[in-house]
Structure 1
Amino acid sequence: MKKLSFFMWRKSLLLLFYLMMVPLLKGTLFANTFHRPLQTVVTGNVTDADGLPLSGVTIQVESKDMGTISDIDGSFAIHVFPTDVLVFSMVGFKTLSVSVANRDKLMVQMEEDVTVLGEVVLNAGYYTVLEKERTGNIEKVAAVDIEKQPMSNPLAALQGRVAGVEVVQSSGVPGAGFEIKIRGRNSIRTSGNEPLYVVDGVPYASSTLGESQASGIILPGSGISPLNNINPNDIESIEILKDADATAIYGSRGANGVVLITTKKGTVGTDGLEIDINTSMGKVANTVDLLGTREYLEMRLEAYDNDGIDPLPFNAYDINGTWDTDRETDWQDALFGRTAYITNVRSSFSGGNALTRYLLSGNFNRQTTVFPGDFANDKVSVLGNMSHRTPDDRFKIRFSANYTFDDNLLPGNNPVLESFLLAPNAPEPFNEDGSLNWEGSTWNNPFRLFAEKYEAKSSSLISSAYVGYSLMEGLELSASLGYTETNLDELRTIPATVYDPAFGLGPESSVAFHNSGKRNSWVIEPQLNWAFEKGPFEIRTLVGMTFQEQKSERLSQLAFGFSSNGLIESISAASNLLVIGDDQTQYRYNAAYGRVNLNLGETYILNLTGRRDGSSRFGTDRRFANFGAVGAAWIFSNETFVAKALTFISFGKLRGSYGTSGNDQIGDYQYLDTYSFGFAQYQNVVGLRPTRLFNPIFSWEENQKLEFGLEMGLFKDRIFLSANRYRNRSSNQLVGIPLPGTTGFSNINGNLAATVENSGWELQLNTQNIVTEKFRWSTSLNLSLPKNQLIAFPDLEGSTYANQLVIGEPLNIQKVFRSTGVDTQTGLHGFVDVNGDGAITSPDDRQTIIDLNPEYFGGLENSFSFGKLDLDVLFQFTKQKGFSFLSSRAVPGAMSNQPGQVLERWRTSGDRTTVQRFSSGLEPMALTAFLNYSQSDAAIVDASFLRLKNISLSYPLLEQSSAPFGCLLYLRAQNLWTWTDYDGLDPETRSSNAIPPIKYVTVGAKLTF
């Protein structure tokens, strides 16, 4: 009876989906129902040569857009006609065609092919292309790799896996963002380098709606990231579009590359329920080795002795007997050393037949923090989609909706810096009654920071629809529609209890930051596709248009003057309100685009793309611009003379592309005269003040992209090599052009004839090292060798950028003093007096250039299969420089803890060392010398690292073909080890004030019914 009721429930759900679509399809579903006797359900299993089940095999009905994927136990089910032919394909196996021939069950055995390309289909945005026939540079990260990592931001899945894509995590705090650069930094403006994000065909804005005064302290960088509202567990694949051929069809929006995110869809076959449950435990991946109490006290006493200060000052509480000199506290462990936990539960129900597919999934994720207290990030997401096609394949419709709600509660302040400042013998933080211990007003108790709270409640809706109709064979008219909406409510509270009670501050001194933001966007893209094939010649074309509008609004207020701290979260309870931000913007964009793809014998391929863009961010005379690209490929392994002469080459392709794209990432209304409300009042009226000058010729940045690539498979693709050489030049830079102070404005937004070039090599190597009946081992290596350079900037020396940029050097540089080392007689740092004026001053003597860009970066992955046991190991590596941890500290000897390396300091005349003598910070010469050191080349250290990024071990405990349900057990680890000589918390962030990436260990089970 249980099986029967479950069966009836599934059929009822299917019937409900059918009835929902009836008004749209005008009866076509019922027509399909009446014709179903013409079809039959074919079931079966797919195995390899050893009889082991193969999961993830694509099973396609030949010449029709119908298919499914084999389950974890190799089983499949598909609706077909008795005369149909099924095509079985999977990377690493030869494609196999099997005729149904009136059979209702098939047992299929696939032969090893050790191929890398196979029939892999890539999403290029407006169209799809086979991996082996692509002319552009597109890289794909599939769900099988994304699911191996416990993460809240999908960009984390790209780290170490994609050549040419540098992804840096800003902090290990839940909700923190990632900085992504696809082939380097194109714009002088730091805010103009974001790629375009497209989720299921809908553009998704990645800029934060947050207020920096609310979120910027605990979430460094861009604050709360909207990309955290995209659930990684719902993602089927992420494609990265890099070169002109791949990005030009996106025009201005693709100047910095395109990130295409595709969510999971229903599969053809028996309705199925999947439940995935896992839990993770995490700690900060690294802490700094600081001085213990004994070494610290010795340092402090020596510092005062060096400075000739006796007796000790009254406020030297750590050494003058006020504090217990026998106490020792590891403040890093106390403030961010707790264990963080992640609980993740995902369930999905999917299925369908050859004509209709559906999926409904839900996900709950709870992530606690490494801070003391009940801080956590709760996220709930729901994904639903459905697709239908008529029996004659003339009409198609798809719909998808993804909704996420995120509630993130964090401390309102960052305790990391405080943990380094505190003396190890600082007082006990709590009194016996649990209240904060202020030790007679001799210190700022660090646990006061946790009385500050930051809460961000955000929601995101991403919905898309597609309707297509075949006018005639090879000609299809379609339209894509999308709507997104993002909402954010932030609250940061700073109660007066964070201050020493001796100050006598009451709730009237409490402060709260309230920020509310909303963004919605719609897009409509009609498109006409035409395909023609005759003999070896094939042509595919598309033309389309884009109409997009985006509206954003944000109100940020500072509230203070409360009667009670219990009312601090209520804005209406404040006696004073100050508006610190009130923005309402509208952005409109439209374009016409086209593509022509010519393919001769699957050997000679030419791809032409073009787009005319219009953006509301520019003046009426410069609002439109044209962009385009040409890409070509020669698959020389298909040439007869190559196949005969070079039999070891199984695949070979040369390709190249050149084209242009634009950039309008400058913000809205930047070309207009604008006014803002002032803070002062005149006769109880708030005045206006001019904030921007009008510039009617404000126009696009332009990015010219050139690339050449070689792809080669050897020995039946047992070895597959890809090499790409690229050069991108971004000109007509959108910057603030300086103005004389007499104008009343510091600059005017305009275009500058400055040019930034990014060039480099991208290398990828995939090998099938061992392939036997019981053991398989494959390796994947990617290596990026980037170079960033400013090649032109008119009158740079006379501009405000003179101290930041140098022609011929990268954008990400630092001008620093040149160190001569620690003087063996004085024990103080010395520096080169560049201008010879007898003094070390900035900026005149800061002329040594340090490049902080990575010299190279990449990843190495090894995959092993021992029968049914699968093991994947991913390493991430980067060669780079960074500022030392010591350079961000107080002068060694001051009332602040120090890293252990300071013990190698100068002590007596003649000592040769890299650490100057201890000083209390009260002696001017020692203090100045150390401050100059922190801005010198002596403070630059090797920040290279090799990180064991991910380990994944999985085993199918039960297989659905022989049990009531399938069960896959897995064990995973993230950020497990990092090998580096960097002396700070983390070489990736290279920050002295950010929580490093968290080291997680995850156990879980995936159940399929």
Structure 2
Amino acid sequence: MQKKYILRDRCTLLFALLIFSTGTCSLFGNTKDVNLFDLAAYQHRIKGTVTDSNGIPIQGVNVGIKGSSSGTFSDEKGAFYLEAVPSDVLILSYIGFKKLEVAVGSSTELSLVLEEDVTDLGAVTVNAGYYTVTEKERTGSISKITSKSIDDQPVASPLAAMQGQMSGVLITQNTGVSGGGFNIQVRGVNSLRADGNAPLYIVDGVPFSSESLGSTSLSGAILGGASSPLNSINPSDIQSIEVLKDADATAIYGSRGANGVVLITTKKGKAGKTSLSLNTYTSAGTLARTMNLMDTQEYIAMRREAYKNDGIDPYPSSAYDVNGTWDQNRYTDWQKELSGGTAWTTNTQLGISGGNENTRFLISGTHRKETSVFPGDNGYHRTSVHNNLNHRSDDERFSMNMSVDYAAETNNQMFADLTSDAMTLPPNAPALYNEDGSLNWEEGTFSNPLADMASRYRSKTKNLIANGLFSYKVIPSLTAKISTGYTSTRLTEIRTLPSTVYNSAIGLTSANSMLFHNSGDRYSWIVEPQLEWNAGWGKNTLAALIGATFQTNQSETLNQIGRGFSSNELIESLAAAETVNVSNHTQSEYKYQAIYARVNYKWDGKYLINLTGRRDGSSRFGSNRRYATFGAVGMAWLFAREKFVENAVPWLSFGKVRASYGTTGNDQIGDYQYLNTYSVSGGLYDGVIGLQPSRLYNPDFGWEVNKKLEMALELGFLEDRISLTGAWYQNRSSNQLVGIPLPATTGFSSIQANLGATVENVGWEFDLRTLNVQGEGFKWTSSLNLSIPKNKLLEFENLEGSTYANQYVIGQPVNIQKLYHYTGINPDTGVYTFEDYDLDGQVSTPNDRQFLANIDPDFYGGLSNNIQYKNWNLDFLFQFVKQQGRNYLYGLKIPGAMLNMPAYVLDHWPENGTEAAIQRYTTGIHGDARNAYLRHGSSSAIISDASYIRLKNINVSYTIPRQWSKLFSARIYMQGQNLLTLTKYKGQDPESQLGSYIPPLKQYALGIHLEF
């Protein structure tokens, strides 16, 4: 009965509507075009699912109704819900995929597939710092990698993830020990100062100092230098890294962008249902390469021949290896024993994100734990937290983006790297431990390398980066912004030197123990207000911005030494030391102010001009030259959009010519360099500690100037399936900031001043990207980057009469090595010979060190490939470098001494005559052989081919089909790092070229990524 009433009521309502509709239509006099029952008049709820060609859901797809402002985003399952009428057309867009339009019709449930479009450069947005620009319309030189490339590598530092992936960016790793640093050069060396070539790092708009607060006296023996602050940036939290290289891209940063700018953008939340993600992997690291050392019999033969050559018989009592004290048949592979362990790494990240079109959030936490290849309890821990909140108002006039990153690191290592011991300990040296487990000193005849395990290096670092960007659209064409940022870095590090590092027979106690303590604090804040204006009329588009920068950086370091402890158990406490001395205490403040502007004009989408400028003021310069102006112009012509090009060359899908020229500065000189400064003398006069002058005042101490010129051609073929970029650049850095030598009568060795010297970097860069195959369920893309740099010292005032005469040569690279010219082995004496350049009858320094060796790379780059087949994905990257470098002879101890050596040393005189690589063996007693050996280590013989091709990383992953589980999506992956190195290099590692430190490790990782 109730259903009958409902049906009757609906019919009555429909009849009433019919009468009303008919009357209304009659009133307006237009009844023939009206159909009351047209389905297009009614909205209904649509449920849709968006996946890629492999069936993997895509989160964050923008789903809108054509001709309407209504829209939504897909969630983590690729699902979306929308109210629409059958006549509506949905538009789906997502970066990296082709735009899709689909009619709604009568469907209430849609399954949509987006086609990937890796060649769509117009949709790729590049971060240029203060503004963004599409890849196709940028006028500057910018290289970029995304989280996809970063996440494919089991690395702890963002710099490690960049290796081999960017043209013009050369990165080398100092050591394979956790917490070690990297060297980075963006288009070569610009400054004659070793500390003046680092790029500017910007994290979410906040400058981040790469200058370490650590002390090399504490960490240098294990980390190869001071600890790097960049290690506190978690690669898993990074969305993209852009490197700005030419003047057009860097001039807006003024003096801070002289050596390039590295922009790090962290991840943000995605709109849609709140999702939980878990990504964890475990990796095992081992030595990628080891040296082929002499075995016991080869070593004993070398030692005996050395004593025979020196005329020593019988063997001395200290020659334990050959006089019978040690077992002459014993053999130990010390590389395996001391550095052949496995470095285990676990990395776990847990994140939660979500939100709607207006407000999105992301919170993630990562914990990383690493061990080392050395024996003992060595470990590195990092815990980091990343937070991001993004909001915009309903009317889209106000928006804000806030991010906070916090990281806490702990590094616990033995004080010294055992690599050198592993390669030099005699192969018949005694065992490391006694039967009772104590260290074996073999009655004082053996310096046990594991004693270094008692001497520890420990550091704790806490790093905070906070940023807030707020913008308000005053009118549709004018936006006001303000960016604020704060960073804080705190470091505490110690090095212990307990009495137990020495043989107990010596009788040292904890009263002889020492503690080295260093603490450092740095904090900075920055405020940058900005106005941005955009307008368009006809074929014209104009964008302009103006802003200002106010930045302050304060730092303090304190170095102390504690001596004498009642017990070694208290050695890590300065308060327990009998005496405490302050070896160094510094406080510094840096202030920086600037105004900057940009004007970008585009006509008809084909002709672009970009003008940037900055007026800088730095507290690091003298009062007469504290301010300077820098600027650049960039131009581009998108000639492929010309009608005559489109008609004549239909297979050319993209073509652009661009050029830029401008100036940037450099203020990376440290604080207070221009002032009269004083230091504590350390001595007492009448019971009072005095001061002594340490630096002279120079009010004209000013900026280095870097003039940059670039021209480039960018091409796309076959709908951008092939993209090629070729660029030529020239950078000239002048007004060099160095120490000018002074007469000794002044009491100072030098004065900091601007020197009339110019360094030039010229080079070619090529980037090739190809879509090799794209079919149903299969795709293969490749990327190649190649850099051909050349560095040269163009001019140097009065070089011949300066203290730099033995370091530089005009017309040559600044990284040349001035060496003796090795000419072979004297057939009569069996010792090395060298060229006598000045013909004075003797080889001496510096007159005869005139052989020039260039250790800059001839070219470098990388080749990467991505292969997708259904749910399988394969990525791999080959890194290559063509260069000369220092081989195993650099730092090699004298052949014949009581130290093991590479098997190369067996190629010696007289066995192989004058063609041998090594002179006659000697224990060091033979004067001529010893002197020749010393020269040999600074001769052309130590330079040889150090080129290599390295399988830098490989990643194989499998995405579990979505239909397997409705609760979560999963991806299982295997990763490898430094798996294969092809090289003719005679040494342990062609990248680091340092035999005293562990090189980058070979790593295998297995992990899983879950999305709930």
**Normalization by structure 2: what TM-score?**
0.93
In the alignment, is residue 829 of structure 1 matched against residue 832 of structure 2?
yes
Query: CA contact under 8 A between 2:72 and 2:82: conserved in structure 1?
Result: no
Residue 529 of structure 1 is matched in structure 2 by 532
Alignment of structure 1 residues 644-659 onto 2, 5 Å? 644-659=647-662
**Amino acid of the residue matched to residue 202 of structure 1?**
V
Cα offset, 1:99, TM superposition: 7.4
Q: The residue matched to 2:545 in structure 1 has which SS?
A: strand
In structure 1, C-alpha distance between the alignment counterparts of 2:507 and 2:62, rounded to whole Å: 74
- SS, match of residue 667 in structure 1: coil
Query: Which deviations, in whole Å up to 9, do the C-alpha atoms of 1:485-525 show, x marking residues without a partner?
Result: 00000011010111122222111211111111010000000
**1:771-801 Cα shifts (integer Å, max 9, x gaps):** 2213322211110000011001000111111
1:133 aligns with 2:137: yes
Number of the residue aligned with 2:559? 556
Following TM superposition, by how much is the alpha carbon of 1:898 offset from its aligned partner in structure 2, in angstroms? 1.0
Query: How many Å apart are 1:52 and its aligned residue?
Result: 3.4
Q: Paired residue for 1:88, among 93, 102, 126?
A: 93
Distance change >3 Å, CA 997–CA 54, structure 1 → 2: same
Tell me which residue corresponds to 2:717. 714
Offset of 1:577 from its aligned partner? Answer: 1.5
For residues 135-160 of structure 1, the C-alpha deviation after alignment (integer angstroms, 9 at most, x for no partner) is 00111110010011111110111101
Give 1:108's aligned amino acid: L
Structure 1 stretch displaced more, 605-614 or 97-106: 97-106
The residue type equivalent to 2:962 in the other structure is E
Separation in 1 of the partners of 2:70 and 2:1005? 37
2:997 alignment counterpart: 994
Task: Name the residue aligned to 2:463.
Answer: 460
Unaligned runs of 5+ in 2: 1-42
1:176 equivalent in structure 2: 180
Note the C-alpha offset of 1:47.
Answer: 4.0
Q: 1:743 aligns with which of 738, 743, 746?
A: 746
Q: CA, structure 1 residues 200+755, in 2 after alignment: closer, same or farther (shift >3 Å)?
A: same
- Residue correspondence of structure 1 range 9-48 to structure 2 within 5 A: 44-47=48-51
TM-aligned CA deviation for residue 106 of structure 1: 4.5
Secondary structure of 2:535's aligned partner: strand
> Which residues in structure 2 correspond to 1:621-636 (within 5 Å)?
621-636=624-639
Gap change, CA 1:540 and 1:932, over 3 Å in 2: same
1:832, 1:845 within 8 Å by CA — same for their partners in 2?
yes
2:925 matches 1:922: yes
Where 1:849 maps in the other structure, the secondary structure is strand
Name the counterpart of 1:512: 515
User: Is 1:284 aligned to residue 323 of structure 2?
Assistant: no
**Residues paired across the two proteins, number:** 967
Which amino acid is 2:93 matched to? F
1:46-65 paired onto structure 2 within 5 Å:
46-47=50-51, 52-53=55-56, 55=58, 58-59=61-62
Inter-CA distance 79–371: structure 2 relative to 1 (3 Å threshold)? farther
Distance 1:732 1:68, change over 3 A: farther
The AA in structure 2 aligned to 1:878 is V
Counterpart for residue 939 of structure 2: 936
Q: Which residue of 1 aligns with 2:379?
A: 376
Residue 187 of structure 1 is aligned with which of 166, 186, 191?
Answer: 191
Residue 371 of structure 2 corresponds to residue 363 of structure 1: no
For residue 717 of structure 1, give the secondary structure of its aligned residue in structure 2: coil
Unaligned runs of 5+ in 1: 1-38
Q: TM-score, normalised by structure 1?
A: 0.93
Matches within 5 A, 1:67-86: 75-77=78-80, 86=91
| Counterpart check, 1:441 vs 2:467 | no
CA distance in 2, matches of 1:807, 1:827: 37
1:572 is aligned to 575
1:871 pairs with one of 870, 874, 881: 874
- Distance in 2, Cα, partners of 1:64 & 1:917: 87
Aligned to 2:27: none
Whole-Å Cα distance in 1 between the matches of residues 72 and 288 of structure 2?
41
Partner of residue 3, structure 1: none
122-131 vs 435-444, which deviates more?
435-444
Find 1:249's aligned residue among 240, 247, 252: 252
Q: Distance in 2 between matches of 1:317 and 1:387?
A: 70
- Provide the rounded CA distance (Å) in 2 between the counterparts of 1:663 and 1:820: 43
Instruction: Give the root-mean-square deviation of aligned CA atoms.
Output: 2.1
For residues 75 and 979 of structure 2, what CA distance do their matches in structure 1 show? 31
Quote the offset at 1:420 in angstroms. Answer: 2.1
The yes-or-no answer on 1:165 pairing with 2:179 is no
Match of 2:156 among 135, 152, 158: 152
Shift of 1:526: 0.5
Aligned residue in 1 for 2:421: 418
- Distance 1:187-1:894 versus aligned 2 partners, 3 A rule: same
- The corresponding residue for 1:695 is 698
2:20 is matched with which residue?
none
Counterparts of 2:236 and 2:103 in 1: how far apart (Å)?
Answer: 36
CA distance in 1, matches of 2:922, 2:806: 31
906, 910, 915: which one aligns with 2:909: 906
**Which structure 2 residues correspond to residues 91-240 of structure 1 after superposition, within 5 A?**
91=96, 93-97=97-101, 106-111=110-115, 115-221=119-225, 223-240=226-243
How far off is 1:56 after superposition? 6.8
User: Please, which of 667, 672, 677 is the counterpart of residue 669 of structure 1?
Assistant: 672
Distance apart, 1:604 and its partner CA? 0.7
Tell me the amino acid that sits aligned with residue 988 of structure 2. Answer: L
1:79/1:746 CA distance change after superposition, 3 Å:
farther
Aligned partners of 1:895, 1:68: CA distance in 2, in Å? 75
Deviation at 1:585, TM superposition (A): 0.5
- Most deviating of 324-333 and 964-973: 324-333
- Quick one: which amino acid aligns to residue 45 of structure 1? T
Change beyond 3 A, Cα 1:181–1:66: farther
Tell me: CA distance 1:749–1:100, structure 2 relative to 1, closer, same or farther (3 Å): farther
Separation (CA, whole Å) in 2 of partners of 1:815 and 1:339 = 40
Change (3 A) 1:467 1:907: same
* Per-residue Cα deviation, 1:239-264 (whole angstroms, up to 9, x for no partner): 11000000011111100000000000
1:176, CA displacement in angstroms?
0.4
Q: 1:590 to 1:796 in 2, by over 3 A?
A: same
C-alpha distance in 2 between matches for 1:246 and 1:370:
42
Q: Is the 8 A contact 1:78 1:268 kept in 2?
A: no
Query: 1:289-300, aligned counterparts within 5 Å?
Result: 289-300=292-303
User: For 1:191, what is the secondary structure of its paired residue?
Assistant: coil
Instruction: Indicate if the aligned counterparts of 1:824 and 1:909 stay in contact, CA closer than 8 A.
Output: no
Is 1:795 matched up with 2:798?
yes
SS in 1 for 2:991: coil
Tell me the amino acid that sits aligned with residue 88 of structure 1. S
Match among 585, 588, 594 for residue 585 of structure 1:
588
- The answer for the alignment partner of 2:498 in structure 1 is 495
800-809 vs 573-582, greater mean Cα deviation: 573-582
710-719 or 56-65, which deviates more: 56-65
Match of 1:819 among 812, 816, 822: 822
Residues 172 and 997, structure 1, Cα contact 8 Å, conserved in 2 = yes
Post-superposition Cα deviations, 1:74-122, rounded to whole Å, max 9, x if no partner, equal x14488999896441443x433345789997543333465625240001
Residue identity opposite 1:762 in structure 2: E
Q: Does 1:320 align with 2:323?
A: yes
